[in-house]
């Protein structure tokens, strides 16, 4: 019970640091927080592995909500509270010591930022303005972009967790490597879509996964359905690229479309 509680805490902490990196505009702070989030994701993987070795299981339940902060210091203070609460769950084993020392450094990093008033700034990621940077897009294009970002950020979050769940349970090296490639690709897409949502003032956590999403009993059907889902994502990218009258955004959605094509080839290896 304690380990599954710890797994949930690590899952929520990963999301907190990841979405803080999306919300903050300062490039250096954004980069550092994103890098810390990748460390937290590895922590999740390691904790999950220990849970399975103990003969127990974990899930992706969460109670976390995203606090809609208005300043950088608000975001950072929320992270400090969560980091310190998570530290109370650690024991003295080797893995927990590693996680504790990682997070002690993150705490010291955030504390140092909070000591310098110049690091504080407005956070616009939650203001609901629904404008994209300095681009003047018609309402119908903004609506299409909004819908795409909400749907695809959930899809990428879902895929990261589903592939991680399956990777932790396979002994097939080909499958393991394909899952890792797909996890890495989905991390990049989630980062891209999260940054875009923050620019539009609509940053929000993806909805929670139902356990039937990741407790896959028929892998063949899962992969076939996943290929169909990637095809649908490609179509959404093509449609959005055609609908948006901005060369930079068009190129980005074409870029994502081509990446989805290779995801399909990766998934075919699983068959």
Residue from 222, 252, 234 nearest 159 by CA: 222
Burial class (CB in 10 A: 0-12, 13-18, 19+), 20: buried
Domain final residue pick, 106, 123, 140: 123
Query: What's the confidence (pLDDT) of residue 20?
Result: 98
Do 99 and 170 lie in a common domain?
Answer: no
Our count of domains for the chain comes to 2
Query: What's the confidence (pLDDT) of residue 45?
Result: 96
Do 59 and 117 lie in a common domain?
Answer: yes
Do 199 and 166 lie in a common domain?
Answer: yes
Task: For residue 145, count other CB atoms closer than 10 A to its CB.
Answer: 23
Do 48 and 171 lie in a common domain?
Answer: no
Domain final residue pick, 105, 123, 141: 123
* Mean pLDDT of successive 10-residue stretches along the chain, which has 271 residues: 84 98 97 98 96 93 91 98 96 96 98 97 96 84 92 94 94 93 95 96 95 87 86 83 83 88 88 80
Do 162 and 50 lie in a common domain?
Answer: no
Residue from 183, 198, 206 nearest 33 by CA: 198
In which domain, by residue range, is 113 found? 1-123
Q: What is the CATH number of the domain that holds 114?
A: 1.20.1260.10
Domain final residue pick, 101, 123, 145: 123
Q: In sequence order, what DSSP letters do the residues of 49-73 get, joined into one string?
A: HHHHHTT--------------SBHH
**Stated pTM of the model:** 0.94
Query: What's the confidence (pLDDT) of residue 73?
Result: 98
Q: Say if CB 106 and CB 40 are below 8 A apart.
A: no
Do 141 and 267 lie in a common domain?
Answer: yes
Q: Say if CB 75 and CB 121 are below 8 A apart.
A: no
């Amino acid at each position: 019970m304690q380990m599954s509680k710890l797994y949930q805490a690590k899952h929520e902490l990963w999301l907190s640091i990841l979405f803080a990196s999306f919300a903050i505009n300062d490039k250096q702070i954004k980069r550092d927080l994103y890098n810390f989030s990748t460390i937290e994701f590895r922590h999740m993987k390691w904790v999950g592995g220990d849970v399975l070795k103990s003969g127990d299981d974990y899930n992706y339940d969460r109670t976390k909500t995203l606090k809609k902060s208005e300043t950088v210091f608000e975001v950072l203070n929320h992270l400090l509270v969560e980091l310190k609460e998570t530290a109370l769950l650690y024991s003295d084993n080797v893995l927990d010591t590693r996680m504790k020392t990682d997070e002690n450094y993150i705490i010291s990093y955030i504390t140092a930022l909070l000591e310098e008033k110049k690091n504080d700034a407005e956070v616009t990621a939650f203001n609901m303005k629904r404008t994209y940077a300095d681009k003047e897009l018609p309402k119908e294009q903004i609506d299409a972009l909004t819908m795409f970002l909400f749907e695809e950020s959930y899809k990428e979050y879902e895929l990261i967790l589903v592939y991680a769940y399956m990777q932790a349970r396979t002994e097939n090296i080909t499958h393991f490597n394909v899952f890792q490639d797909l996890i890495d690709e989905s991390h990049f897409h989630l980062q891209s879509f999260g940054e875009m949502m923050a620019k539009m003032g609509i940053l929000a956590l993806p909805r929670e996964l139902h356990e039937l999403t990741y407790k896959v009993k028929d892998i063949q059907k899962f992969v076939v359905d996943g290929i169909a889902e990637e095809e649908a994502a490609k179509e959404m990218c093509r449609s959005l690229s055609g609908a948006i009258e901005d060369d930079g955004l068009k190129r980005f959605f074409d870029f994502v479309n081509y990446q989805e094509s290779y995801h399909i080839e990766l998934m075919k290896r699983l068959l």
